[in-house]
Amino acid sequence: MKNFFSFPNPVDDAAARSVALGVVTLAVVTFVTGWAWLLIPLTYGFAARVAAGPKISPLGRFAVHVAAPRLVRWQRFVAGPPKRFAQTIGLAFSGVALVLWLSVGWLDARWVLLPLVAAASLEGFFGFCLGCAIFSGLMRVGLIPESVCRDCADLSARYAAAGVRVDPANHF
Q: What backbone phi and psi angles, to 5 degrees, belong to 171? A: -125, 165
- Whole-structure pTM value: 0.84
Beta strands (DSSP E) in 39-109 are 77-78
* Rounded Cα–Cα distance for residues 105 and 99 (Å): 9
* Rounded Cα–Cα distance for residues 43 and 96 (Å): 9
Q: For every one of its 172 residues, what pLDDT tens digit does the chain have, with 9 covering 90 and above?
A: 557 778 888 889 999 999 999 999 999 999 999 999 999 999 999 999 999 999 999 999 999 999 988 888 888 888 899 999 999 999 999 999 999 999 999 999 999 999 999 999 999 999 999 999 999 889 888 898 888 877 665 545 555 554 555 444 444 3
* Rounded Cα–Cα distance for residues 30 and 38 (Å): 6
End-to-end CA distance of the chain: 29
Tell me which residue of 122, 46, 60 sits closest to 132, measured CA to CA. 122
Tell me which residue of 8, 18, 40 sits closest to 158, measured CA to CA. 8
Q: Any idea how long the chain is?
A: 172
